[in-house]
Structure 1
């Protein structure tokens, strides 16, 4: 649980992430990101939602405990699947993450190499430059408190 003064209390133990554009660039997840996910999975269940555009999602997460991979067809299904993990923290970059953000206790938008949907930015609690920064907000919670406290 995380109390952010004059903002809200976050009770989520699940982190729901998009794969392509958020965790991965062109179907590849950097080793540093995988190591950070491993560290994050000690405190949260990691849920990765993907259409598996590159067909390699299962292989990417082999050997990572506490990571659940869900293959989805579209944004409607993505929103529905994310709700199963409520309460959760949502991390994404695209239009298909808007529904995920609407139901999240905390939403973090990534402006990475693939960019970020302007509509998603408007629905985010926090906006960061890349996935490393997003994960570190959760690993080093004082950063999140400093950003969001009232």
Structure 2
């Protein structure tokens, strides 16, 4: 198999007009405010500092500060100074934020379920397994590349 040709076909398929729009639709659940809100929803009850959110989202702390400002203005999160370490700001999701995060999750699942229903059970199961493998290998290779880059710069 010519893997470079397969990669080209894959990229062309993904970026074709219309298909890119569909991918963008699903990406809205995994970036920006939605991603941060989902993370806080999942981590509810824990003490979360903005730097931890930045690490999870692979975003700068400045970008996280902007996102948190927006979420706070919508009463979806709160920020308070830590009682044990006044240098730390703790972020928590509000009841309204939990409700919005749950609505976002339900909508995302509903949209995916509609696609999966069209694909059928066998193709859906195969797609999920193959996509998991695709992500695992991609993450492994990215980690190896990062380690090589760090060794080269050391």
TM-score by length of 1: 0.28
Structure richer in strand, relative to its length:
1
Higher RCO structure (Cα 8 Å, ≥6 apart): 1
TM-score by length of structure 2 reads 0.28
